[in-house]
Chains A and B, each alone.
Chain A
Amino acid sequence: MRDFEYTAPSTLREAVKLLSEKGEAARVLAGGTDLIVQLRARRFQPERVVDVKNIPEVNELSVSPRKGLRIGAAVPCHRIYADEGVKEQFAGLTDASMIIGGIQIQGRASLGGNLCNASPSADSIPALIAYGAEAEVIGPDGKRKIAVEDFCTGPGSNALKPGEMLVAIRMPLPKNNSGGHYLRFIPRNEMDIAVVGAGAFVELGGRSKTRVFKSARIALAAVAPTPLLVAEAGASLEGQPVTEETIAAAAAIAQEAARPISDMRGPAEYRRHLVGVLTKRALIGAVKRANGEFVPNAVQSNGHPVYQLS
């Protein structure tokens, strides 16, 4: 590891200045669970590291009926999954933030960092996409918003320009009769990287016996160079009844959209197979939650949830 300048600004303005001065040679530090590992592996050799944890705006976590959910870029996972508002309204985000690394990692790692790191297999990103989240960004030219599905531009690269940083992630409060779920496949029960991940958010209409999908969003992890929104799979469900068949059809569309590679975590063909399995399970979990049923996540079930429409 090369030596570098460590800075810890307390305002966004100061942070942007420190970042802008160094351009590509500056890196933002939040929890550091990716950055420090990457520095040690010499993936980056920055001249300046800008620790943003002293900046109030990036540490805020709030849920309000009007503004929805706002997650500061440095808010660690453990605060997210311990938050009553998030638990109640954004169970799919709880699913994801509980399985990023282990307990110690979750004490530091932030969803903002998970997003900026732009790994195709990031667990939180498909969940954020499913909830329709936006990234709030600040830079030398002021603030701008980027839809999370457009934020990642390739493995390890994102839409931030030199001098820009992520401030927060925000998303609207889900309507009644809606639910979200994220799950991943790993061959072990913990401490692993998604072979495939799937997040779904659904809003249901109709009566309890004859539910229909009003809308649905489905996003995938680890099957493309970036986390993938499969808009057409969600669209295929709009106005359709909630049945095994409509869900299977949406899963088949997701399988078509996936562009997996073969690597040490799994062969491409198997990943495509898993997209079908996990998309169905994510949709069923989301539907059950929309119906007010309890759906355990990977930690609550120790990897053994049951996925059947009731």
Chain B
Amino acid sequence: MTDHGETTRKGGEIRNFGTQTYKVVGTRPIRHDGTDKVTGRAVYGGDIRLPGMLYGQILRSPHAHARIQRIDTSRAEALPGVHAVVTAADLPDTTGGRIDLGEGHADTKYMRDNILAGDKVLYRGHAVAGVAAVSLHVAEEALALIDVDYELLEPVIDVETAMKDSAPLLHEGLTTTELNEDTGRKSNIAMHIRHEMGDVQQAFAGAAHVAEAEIRTATVHQGYIEPQNGTASWSEDGQLTIWTSTQGSFTAQKQLATILDIPVSKVRVIPQEIGGGFGGKIPVYVEPVAALLSRKTAHPVKIIMTRADVFESTGPTPGSYVRVKMATDASGKLVASEAHIALEAGAFPGAEIGAAAMCVFSCYDIPHAVVDGYDVVVNKPKSAPYRAPGATQVTWPVEKVMDDLARQLGKDPVAFRLDNAAAEGTRRVDGIVYPRIGGRECLEVARDSDHYQSELSGPYRGRGMAIGYWFNIGLKSAVTASVNADGTVHLVEGSTDIGGTRTSVAMQFAETLGLDAADIYPSVGDTSAIGYTDVTGGSRVTYATGWAAYEAAEDVKRQMIERAAILWESSADQVEYSDGVFKTRDGSKSADFKQLAQKLEDTGGPVVGRATVHPDTGVGGSFAVNIVDVEVDPDTGKVDILRFTVIQDAGKAIHPSYVEGQMQGGSVQGIGWALNEEYAYTEEGRMANSTFLDYRMPTSLDLPMIETIIVEVPNPGHPYGVRGVGEASIAPPPAAVAAAVENATGTQLNVLPLRPDRIINAMEDSIPAAAG
């Protein structure tokens, strides 16, 4: 077996724009949790077995939109082996405000209604009742014995229909909040926001070149492998313990406390290993139902979703309708832009419209701009964050318009973008003024790359490129570090690990103390074992929790220096620490970290370092550029990706392999979104493809090796220059793939996914009518 430490794994190219070289940071050690993942020893939520545990199942609505007239659970309760049935009547009905989930927020009433439907079901798959029984099969049989009378209502399944005055309303009480003021107008439009800068009308009037695009994108799912799961044990003294797969144990704790109306201190969330999240595992779904069932039965209760449940009942990303118009002066400088963005929130308000509005024009320096954003409810599952939520939907329309303007100007698409790239000091339409950013460097690296410089020839082949952005978030993190007698360190952090962050956090700790990554044993603490830590989202963990690890290491260093001073009967200011060795300034005494660690018992007992951080400013955003070559079968419309390169600014890549993994993962999800993924709906509003067979995510046979180039433009707002890298890579792929397909076929496309039938139709439409 290989020990932790340096490996020779070959990585992609890294282009450095001023970052430092370090001992641990920037290397590629084996991940701390790798062996257990490979051998199957790692424990996931589905593995939980507790004494006396019951199995829960959830009855879900077969209808997209209906009023619940009556629920009769008596026949189910009478079935032998059934311990309890719960419905919305078992939820508290306190009125509450909103809670912040880090990436996204939620209204208490809507949160409860999404856990178990109140008076209405608002999407097919909406939970109606929960059953706990001695086995999964008995619980499943009991579901069939729950009688629900529905009054069917007309479903609304797309954003454009939902916005019409004539559309059936999902929520009687929902009124539009217009530019922060409640209009009192009943509507499916929950919110209208606007950002405005300069004089847009006048700028368009004086422009030399103008281009527009109108784009529709389908509802798509994160597609994580592991379904949502939750096991609840509600003890007689009122303590609720939850084992679950979550992107934030404290975020889950906060939601559970709010939904169940109990203090956060009464909820302990023990996060398990996660089989993928991508934003979808921020909200809770089955956990509160398991908790209610546990309280009612006095047994632990476990619930696991099926794949169909995951598709139909957890949050996909919004379908969208977006219009963008942009203009340049005669020299090719952008002068004006406007965007209309409407996102499908799903059954309850809360699409990431704010993020979409922040991202839409984020790549460019545009003096006059206006953005209107609409958060609209439709009869689909409540949308959840999905990797750079809102960014992908708005990147294609902007990039399509940019390509159109470049054509009008006769300029190379990359050169045209470079002429207009946002840089330090650029003011975005939402008011943010950029610190040092790496968008320009990413475009330059793309321009000079082997891929972009290569020739592409052959019939029905085409190339596209695009750039996208994600702003990243900071928020709060806590880390504690206990020095062991053998000189290793146990590091506990609160960020659940969905991308190798235990290792990337431990590496920053090791770097700061001059230790090896293998000397650090990182683990994710539950809500009773570590200080409050925000959600794993917004690409924040390597940045913020890594920063906390840096501070905790500095704390350990200070304490160890004090111990050395005690040992050497010196004073702390006479001891220095470098390259893993403590020394008196006069050089008479020295000890390395391990030697000193052995002496802790004699110098005052254990050393525990700790730190909490809450970086608000200085969170570095990240840009990603794609270059894509495709070939289209002109007879069938099938698209093959021949070559795909992703270039992304990582600030400083702590573990380059994980950065490349994020870049490749985001690219693949973006390719799926571009080509074939979509929720297919029947006229009645039922999802017709809630299986991995018919929800067509790309397989390994559909993709070339995704080539990566890491760009390092250090983030001045982080000790090691880190920028979060988890999300930006999903923003540009649909734009780049669509541009390549348009280039290959001579067509114009404006609906995602770029299904083969749509490409065939576009090719038939674009054939010039025969003469005569």
Assess whether B755 is in contact with A273, with CB atoms less than 8 Å apart.
no
What is the predominant secondary structure among interface residues of chain A facing chain B? loop
Give chain B residues whose Cβ lies under 8 Å from the Cβ of A189.
699, 701-702
Binds B, one of A10-18, A152-160, A203-211, A261-269: A261-269
Which residue from A2, A3, A187, A190 sits with its C-beta under 8 Å from B638? A187
Task: Write the chain A residue with the least CB distance to B694.
Answer: A264
**Complex Cα gap A190–B137 (Å):** 33
Assess whether B137 is in contact with A1, with CB atoms less than 8 Å apart.
yes
Contact with B along A151-191 (1 / 0, CB 8 A): 00000000000000000000000000000000001011111
- How many residues of chain B are within 8 Å of chain A by beta carbon? 24
Task: Write the chain B residue with the least CB distance to A102.
Answer: B699
**Complex Cα gap A264–B683 (Å):** 12
Given that A187-B755, A190-B701, A264-B688 are contacting pairs, would A277 and B694 also be in contact in the complex, using a CB cutoff of 8 Å?
no
Residue in B137, B638, B694, B757 with the greatest tally of chain A CB atoms within 10 Å: B757
Assess whether B693 is in contact with A193, with CB atoms less than 8 Å apart.
yes
**Complex Cα gap A67–B118 (Å):** 67
What is the predominant secondary structure among interface residues of chain B facing chain A? loop
Assess whether A264 is in contact with B689, with CB atoms less than 8 Å apart.
yes
Assess whether B640 is in contact with A267, with CB atoms less than 8 Å apart.
no
> A304 at interface (Cβ–Cβ under 8 A)?
yes
Residue in B640, B676, B688, B756 with the greatest tally of chain A CB atoms within 10 Å: B756
Give chain A residues whose Cβ lies under 8 Å from the Cβ of B760.
270, 273
Assess whether B640 is in contact with A304, with CB atoms less than 8 Å apart.
yes
Interface size class of chain A, counting residues whose CB lies under 8 Å from the partner chain:
20 to 34
Give chain A residues whose Cβ lies under 8 Å from the Cβ of B141.
2
Assess whether B688 is in contact with A263, with CB atoms less than 8 Å apart.
yes
Given that A267-B757, A304-B640 are contacting pairs, would A187 and B635 also be in contact in the complex, using a CB cutoff of 8 Å?
no
Task: Write the chain B residue with the least CB distance to A270.
Answer: B757
> A274 at interface (Cβ–Cβ under 8 A)?
yes
> A64 at interface (Cβ–Cβ under 8 A)?
no
Assess whether B757 is in contact with A185, with CB atoms less than 8 Å apart.
no
A-B contacts at CB below 8 angstroms, number: 55
> B675 at interface (Cβ–Cβ under 8 A)?
yes
Assess whether B699 is in contact with A191, with CB atoms less than 8 Å apart.
yes
B688 to chain A, nearest CB (A): 4
> A310 at interface (Cβ–Cβ under 8 A)?
no
> B95 at interface (Cβ–Cβ under 8 A)?
no
Give chain A residues whose Cβ lies under 8 Å from the Cβ of B635.
277
Contact with A along B316-340 (1 / 0, CB 8 A): 0000000000000000000000000
Task: Write the chain B residue with the least CB distance to A264.
Answer: B680
Which residue from A1, A193, A266, A303 sits with its C-beta under 8 Å from B640? A303
> A192 at interface (Cβ–Cβ under 8 A)?
yes
Task: Write the chain A residue with the least CB distance to B697.
Answer: A188
> A302 at interface (Cβ–Cβ under 8 A)?
yes
**Complex Cα gap A267–B702 (Å):** 22
Give chain A residues whose Cβ lies under 8 Å from the Cβ of B755.
187
Assess whether A266 is in contact with B701, with CB atoms less than 8 Å apart.
no
Assess whether A188 is in contact with B698, with CB atoms less than 8 Å apart.
yes
A237 to chain B, nearest CB (A): 20
Given that A263-B688, A264-B694, A265-B694 are contacting pairs, would A274 and B636 also be in contact in the complex, using a CB cutoff of 8 Å?
yes
Give chain B residues whose Cβ lies under 8 Å from the Cβ of A269.
757
5 contacts between A and B (CB under 8 A): A185-B756, A187-B638, A187-B696, A191-B693, A191-B699
The 3 residue pairs across chains A and B that have the minimum distance between CB atoms = A264-B680, A270-B757, A189-B701
| Residues of A participating in the B interface, judged by any CB pair closer than 8 Å | 1-3, 185, 187-193, 263-267, 269-270, 273-274, 277, 302-304
